[in-house]
């Protein structure tokens, strides 16, 4: 045991100068971790002279792993088969645990800061800036699910496996390596849960004989798309992950497998997700127009196998899984040793998954954007020279009604509603079209300008009549002249949202993620939100976002850390992260995940064969 302990300590040594308070939410979600040393274990500084047996002992983690016996195949398969959670439940529980752990970390350190004066010197404030009074946001109750408190939910941790408990490996591995094992184990077990849910979608819904008779083959094809291909890939992927787990109770790596499948097999996800727009529309039409379909689906959803989950939650599984898989690889990447082979493999896997997710998103957007542009084109009547709206490179950013100020400039102080008249704006990624709504759900276009030639400027408050008013300048309009519009929005948030969309390079109140500053106001999502407008951002539970701007009436303009997507969302869907150490750690981890290849890694990448390991 001493020889084995020394080998592991040599292989898993870490820098203990880093603060344990900076470990992220998933570290604590894994529960209390055993100590890194036992009374009979040599320390990290052991030398061959101090321990002669160490001279012939393995010096790398891979070699050390060969000394640990593998998990029997039957034992591992039994664990997979006994996973009692559908993927929807597994995913919800994992994200809610992550949120709650961040809350606890935030509250503990914030409470410590309130209880004693800080020994650190306060940073100097910029002159002219007034410090806003600290007012901690109200903590809203999280949506609770019984799985969080149900001891029989079979949501297992790697360190809870009987084989791990009896092996003594928990007394040998460093806490950081245990966290890494938990991260890899979660990827494997969540894939098993995902496959379980996919199998239920196919066997319980898609292959139901009564449903086959109700649906036309074309309807069934749109509704279920290539889910059989997706399930086949998931099955092979899970089988390889299982084999890796069976090799050793201490998992060597999983990102090499993820990389290979993302590069060679996950294109089936792009096909499935790109069909999402037609899938959702067909599903809604079937529910509305076919009573037999509606009644049968309701009956099938009541089956205990479905755990009260609707068919729609099963249909969206592939899109949820491919995005979640990228986050799970990010979680692994945060824990591997820097500049190690495992870091390189994780970075490669993450990049491939990013390409797949990006292609999935583009597939969905392309389908919906094309239909939207055709619909808008049909509604427009041009009072000026016609502008072709439909283009493969054009999409809608924002549309809506504003009030245009009319009359001479001297009339600005008049307190009358006649001062403003309604206009309607269509803002595309490269073009602004200004219209007036006319009968028949039509829009008469009277001006336009390239988006790059727009300037937006907020008007200082001049009373209630001119509240939420801003100036829009068209440096070159449809008549090749400069034009100025004074526009009034319905609220402060609507005004800021229009100004942000019209002038995307306009400075925001707070800095962007790309500024590389190590602190910025942050929030985490505690209630999921689905975007209602093109300029809004859909939020998933546990998303972390930098705050770029916010309004007094409850809207935030934010930038999500894991993919740098920007958009507006209601502030009551999130809660602020108050602890600056946690905010800084979140940013540092994202910088690491998204860092560019350094020269050393670029040289090593060509020499490294993915998945190569010394296995016996």
Structure token digits, residue 338: 């820097």
Q: Is CATH 2.30.30.40 correct for 513-600?
A: yes
Q: C-alpha angle 318/323/328, rounded to 5°?
A: 115
Angle formed by the axes of helices 227-247 and 175-200, nearest 10° = 150
Confidence tier at 81 by pLDDT (50, 70, 90): low
CA nearest 371: which of 230, 440, 276, 231? 276
What is the pLDDT, as a whole number, of residue 370? 84
Neighbours of 98 (CB within 10 A): 20
Confidence tier at 587 by pLDDT (50, 70, 90): confident
Structure token digits, residue 462: 């001049």
Contact status, residue 20 vs residue 36, Cβ threshold 8 Å: no
Q: Which of 190-194, 494-498, 589-593 has the lowest mean pLDDT?
A: 589-593
Structure token digits, residue 204: 């319980």
pTM of the model: 0.71
What is the pLDDT, as a whole number, of residue 547? 93
What architecture does CATH give domain 87-115+143-371? Answer: Up-down Bundle (1.20)
Q: What's the chain's average pLDDT?
A: 77
364-411: pLDDT as tens digits? 888 788 888 999 999 999 988 888 898 888 999 999 999 998 754 444
Q: Using the 8-state DSSP alphabet, how is residue 529 labeled?
A: B
Q: Cα(379)–Cα(445) distance, rounded to whole angstroms?
A: 10
Q: Cα(128)–Cα(138) distance, rounded to whole angstroms?
A: 29
- Domain layout of the chain by residue ranges: 87-115+143-371, 383-502, 513-600
Contact status, residue 401 vs residue 424, Cβ threshold 8 Å: yes
Structure token digits, residue 406: 């009319």
Q: Using the 8-state DSSP alphabet, how is residue 262 labeled?
A: H
Mean pLDDT across 490-509: 82
What is the pLDDT, as a whole number, of residue 134? 45
Contact status, residue 544 vs residue 586, Cβ threshold 8 Å: yes
User: What's the CATH number for 383-502?
Assistant: 2.30.29.30
Confidence tier at 102 by pLDDT (50, 70, 90): confident
Q: Cα(190)–Cα(214) distance, rounded to whole angstroms?
A: 33
What is the pLDDT, as a whole number, of residue 177? 93
- Higher confidence at residue 562 or residue 400? 400
Beta strand 431-438 with 555-560 is unpaired
Q: Cα(268)–Cα(108) distance, rounded to whole angstroms?
A: 45
275-324: pLDDT as tens digits? 998 999 999 999 999 999 999 999 999 999 999 999 999 999 999 999 99
Q: Cα(24)–Cα(549) distance, rounded to whole angstroms?
A: 25
Beta strand 380-382 with 442-450 is parallel
What is the H or E stretch that residue 555 is in? strand 555-560
Mean pLDDT across 209-218: 96
Confidence tier at 264 by pLDDT (50, 70, 90): very high
SS3 of 202-256: the string is HHHHHCCHHHHHHCCHHHHHHHHCCHHHHHHHHHHHHHHHHHHHHHCCCCCCCHH
- Higher confidence at residue 3 or residue 337? 337
| CA pseudo-torsion sign 573, 87, 583, 157 | positive
Confidence tier at 107 by pLDDT (50, 70, 90): confident
62 CB-side CA count, 13 A: 10
Q: Phi/psi of residue 281, each to 5°?
A: -65, -45
SS3 of 404-446: the string is EECCCHHHHHCCCHHHEEEEEEEEECCEEEEEEEECCCEEEEE
Q: Which of 41-50, 163-172, 366-375, 596-605 has the lowest mean pLDDT?
A: 41-50
SS3 of 287-338: the string is HHHCHHHHHHHHHHHCCHHHCCCCHHHHHCHHHHHHHHHHHHHHHHHCCCCC
Q: Cα(195)–Cα(422) distance, rounded to whole angstroms?
A: 53
Contact status, residue 525 vs residue 541, Cβ threshold 8 Å: yes
Structure token digits, residue 356: 């797949």
CA nearest 427: which of 501, 537, 531? 501
Q: Cα(303)–Cα(298) distance, rounded to whole angstroms?
A: 9
What is the H or E stretch that residue 346 is in? helix 341-379
How many angstroms separate the Cα of 341 from the Cα of each of 36, 328, 397, 594, 611? 23, 18, 42, 17, 10
414-452: pLDDT as tens digits? 454 567 889 999 999 999 999 999 999 999 999 999 999
In the chain, % of residues over pLDDT 70 = 70
In the chain, % of residues over pLDDT 90 = 49
């Amino acid at each position: 045991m001493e020889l084995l302990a020394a080998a592991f300590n040599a292989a898993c040594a870490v820098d203990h100068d880093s603060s344990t308070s900076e470990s992220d939410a998933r570290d604590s979600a894994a529960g209390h971790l055993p100590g890194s040393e036992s009374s009979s274990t040599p320390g990290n500084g052991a030398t061959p002279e101090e321990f002669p047996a160490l001279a012939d002992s393995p010096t790398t983690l891979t070699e050390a792993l060969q000394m640990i016996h593998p998990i029997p195949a039957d034992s591992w398969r039994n664990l997979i088969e006994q996973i009692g959670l559908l993927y929807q439940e597994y995913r919800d529980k994992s994200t809610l645990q992550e949120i709650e752990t961040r809350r606890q970390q935030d509250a503990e350190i914030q409470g410590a800061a309130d209880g004693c004066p800080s020994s650190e010197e306060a940073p100097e404030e910029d002159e002219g800036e007034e410090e806003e009074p600290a007012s901690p946001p109200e903590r809203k109750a999280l949506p609770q699910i019984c799985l969080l408190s149900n001891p029989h939910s079979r949501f297992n941790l790697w360190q809870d496996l009987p084989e791990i408990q009896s092996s003594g490996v928990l007394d040998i591995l460093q806490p950081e390596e245990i966290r890494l094992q938990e991260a890899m184990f979660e990827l494997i077990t969540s894939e098993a849960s995902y496959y379980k849910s996919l199998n239920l979608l196919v066997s319980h819904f898609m292959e139901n004989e009564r449903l086959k008779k109700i649906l036309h083959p074309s309807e069934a094809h749109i509704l279920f798309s290539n889910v059989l291909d997706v399930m086949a890939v998931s099955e092979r992927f899970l089988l390889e992950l299982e084999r890796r787990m069976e090799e050793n109770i201490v998992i060597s790596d999983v990102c090499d497998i993820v990389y290979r499948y993302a590069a060679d097999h996950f294109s089936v996800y792009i096909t499935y997700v790109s069909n999402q727009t037609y899938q959702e529309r067909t599903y809604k039409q079937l529910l509305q127009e076919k009573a037999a379909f509606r009644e049968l689906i309701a009956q099938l959803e009541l089956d205990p196998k479905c755990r009260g989950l609707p068919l729609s939650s099963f249909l969206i599984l592939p899109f949820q899984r491919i995005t979640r898989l990228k986050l799970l690889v990010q979680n692994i990447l945060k824990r591997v040793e820097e500049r190690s082979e495992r870091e390189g493999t994780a970075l490669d896997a993450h990049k491939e998954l990013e390409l797949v997710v990006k292609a999935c998103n583009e597939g969905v957007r392309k389908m919906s954007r094309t239909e939207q542009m055709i619909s808008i084109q049909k509604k427009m009547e041009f009072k000026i020279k016609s502008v072709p709206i439909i283009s493969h490179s054009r999409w809608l950013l924002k549309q809506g009604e504003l009030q245009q100020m009319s009359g001479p400039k001297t009339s600005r102080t008049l307190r009358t509603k006649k001062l403003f008249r309604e206009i309607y704006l269509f803002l595309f990624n490269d073009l602004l079209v200004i219209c007036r709504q006319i009968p028949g759900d039509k829009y008469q276009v009277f001006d336009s300008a390239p988006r790059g030639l727009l300037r937006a400027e907020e008007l200082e408050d001049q009373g209630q009549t001119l509240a939420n008013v801003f100036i829009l300048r068209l440096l070159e309009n449809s008549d090749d002249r400069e034009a100025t519009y004074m526009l009034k929005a319905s609220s402060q948030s609507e005004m800021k949202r229009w100004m942000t969309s019209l002038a995307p390079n306009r400075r925001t109140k707070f800095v962007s993620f790309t500024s590389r500053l190590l602190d910025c106001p942050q929030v985490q999502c505690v209630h999921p939100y689905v975007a209602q407008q093109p300029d809004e951002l859909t939020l998933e539970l546990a998303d972390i976002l930098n705050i770029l701007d916010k309004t007094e009436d409850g809207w935030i303009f934010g930038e999500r850390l894991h993919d740098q997507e920007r958009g507006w969302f209601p502030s009551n869907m999130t809660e602020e992260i108050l602890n600056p150490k946690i905010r800084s750690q979140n940013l540092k981890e994202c910088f690491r995940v998204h860092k560019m290849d350094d020269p050393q890694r670029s040289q090593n990448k060509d020499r490294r064969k993915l998945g190569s390991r010394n296995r016996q």
